[in-house]
Amino acid sequence: MPKLEADGYDRRILAALQGDGRMSIADLAETVGLSPSPCWRRVRALEEAGVIRGYTAILDTAALGFGLDVFVSLSLNLHKADEFEAAIMRRPEVVQCYAMAGEQDYMLHVIARDMAAFDHFVREELIHMPGVDKVRSNFILKVIKQTTALPL
């Protein structure tokens, strides 16, 4: 995808939507200094260009009973990478998965209700996925900073 040449208005629109994705077009237009119609056209263009990939609610994991946040790094027989990636896409407890360069091949961010649920995921699911060789878990003690906002 080609890089979008965002101007000052586009950047202000993106910054405002990162703070509140439910903001009305009228409020957004006022915030960025445009009238509603041109603001709406810019938002649509940013969506169509793929710069805005979607809108979502950010949920509180603890409030929903998810008490365990874990980063899992793993080594893989890379001949099975495509099969592994397809399998990991079907796992709801894996909220992020990255292919890595370095000592580990993949980094997963896993959310689980408790240690028993995480143990079940690792022992009954993850280690049986195609190509999985080594698994290392790092448990999050405290979140210091967590954001989805990009530095515009």
Please indicate, yes or no, whether residues 88 and 127 belong to a single structural domain of this protein.
Answer: yes
The whole-number pLDDT of residue 2 equals 56
42 domain-assigned: yes
Q: What is the DSSP string of 75-143?
A: EE-GGGHHHHHHHHHT-TTEEEEEE-SSS-SEEEEEEESSHHHHHHIIIIIGGGSTTEEEEEEEE----
- Same domain, yes or no, for 40 and 67? no
- Count of domains forming the chain: 2
Mean pLDDT calculated for residue range 87-94: 98
Average pLDDT over residues 16-33: 97
Residues 34 and 73 in one domain: no
Tell me if 54 is assigned to some domain. Answer: no
77-105 mean pLDDT: 96
Question: Residue 124's domain spans which residues?
Answer: 62-139
